[in-house]
Amino acid sequence: MVSWDGFPQYAARLVRAVIERIEVPCLVIGTHPNVPIDGMEDALGQAVTWVDGGDQMTWSQLGLKPPSIFIQSGWNRTAFSSLGREVKRAGGLVIGLSDANWRADYRQLVLGPIAFRLLYKSHFDGMIVPGSQGTRLMKYFGVDKLCIREGMYGADSSIFKSGPPLNERSKTILYVGQFIERKNVLRLVDAFLKFVDKYPEWKLHLVGSGSLKNKIPKSEGVVVEDFVQPEKLARYYQDAKFFVLPSLVEAWGLVVHEATLCGCGLLLSNAVGSAPDLSNDVNSVKFDPRDTLSIQHAFDVMASMDEVRLSAVELESYRLSCRFGPDRFAESFFSLVDYLSVTGNANGVAREK
């Protein structure tokens, strides 16, 4: 059984990859996502049981006995936590999903391990995290490294896939995400407007929504658009040479995986959690998100790339993108369950290093 807070379409495709490999019914419980996506249950291949995350729930209310395995997202959601506790009491395995990444701030270094050990270490038997930074954090919190798997996030390569060669694409820089302070969109636009004075042939395409939308400066070179459905969004990636993510804080960044699947080059802030997994010196340019000049410099480096370099960028993005997606999530889940079952290492997160 699976619970997922704010159940998004990418998660539906990940969970479907698990369901298709098992021979028993699987209940999927979710709270509604902030951005409605058409065809959610079509993507999953079955109905979703939608709940209010703030309500206490029992398995009997769902017409079921506690399952032997429960994947739990939304640690602080009352509905999911109560279901997870019931599974533990019945002797089942609870596998947690955590999208937090390593930041090395006071909250993580000092408060995090204490809170995790007090509140969660006896609850979760294993963890699935997005990538290497999530693994590092969970190990620091006391999770046995053998009880951690990566691949919690991943776009669907049947939707997000290669487009025209990078050399033939329009000189477009694409951003996809919320227009909020944490995403640093206003500083991004400020840097772009300075850059485009020298390179007027470039365009910045912003796709998203949020409270800062009306504060984005109007400019001929800046296109602002509301969120679109995944199939249309994939075409935007396939038309863009580069994808930019200027976040001040970014746990992982599924959009980075979408971009690499489509062969885009990457312009990433040094706060993006997926950077170690999906980027390197070949396919990306990094910058300090709090420094407008640093963002401008990243644009300048991008604009100076010749056809040979762009071809290398594209190939490297494709190569790195293959490490994540629905198949990776399913493989991680079954690998973790097999390990916990064979070794009898239930409650592996409670083991100290």
Which DSSP letter does residue 330 get? H
pLDDT tens-digit map of 290-302: 999 999 999 999 9
Q: Is the dihedral of CA 251, 257, 259, 265 positive or negative?
A: positive
Helix (H, G, I), strand (E, B) or coil at 10: helix
Under 8 Å between Cβ of 345 and 338:
no
Under 8 Å between Cβ of 84 and 70:
yes
Mean pLDDT of 347-353: 40
Query: Residues with Cβ < 8 Å from 286, sequence gap 6 or more?
Result: 268, 269, 270, 275, 279, 298
Q: How confident is the model at residue 345 (pLDDT cuts 50, 70, 90)?
A: low
CA distances from 190 to 74, 240, 289, 346 (A): 36, 20, 12, 51
pLDDT tens-digit map of 151-183: 999 999 999 999 999 999 999 999 999 999 999
pTM: predicted TM-score of the whole model, two decimal places: 0.90
Average pLDDT of the residues of the chain: 93
Between 105-119, 126-140, 336-350, the lowest mean confidence (pLDDT) is in 336-350
Domains of the chain (ranges; CATH) run 2-154+325-350 (3.40.50), 166-321 (3.40.50.2000)
Predicted pLDDT at 172: 98
Which DSSP letter does residue 243 get? E
Predicted pLDDT at 246: 99
Question: What do you get for the CA distance between the two ends of the chain, in Å?
Answer: 30
pLDDT tens-digit map of 26-53: 999 999 887 766 778 888 999 999 999 9
Distance between CA 177 and CA 226 in Å, rounded? Answer: 10
Strand ranges of the sheet holding 49-50, from the earlier edge strand across to the other edge: 49-50, 28-30, 2-4, 69-72, 93-97, 126-129, 148-150
CA distances from 13 to 51, 89, 213, 227, 343 (A): 20, 30, 30, 19, 29
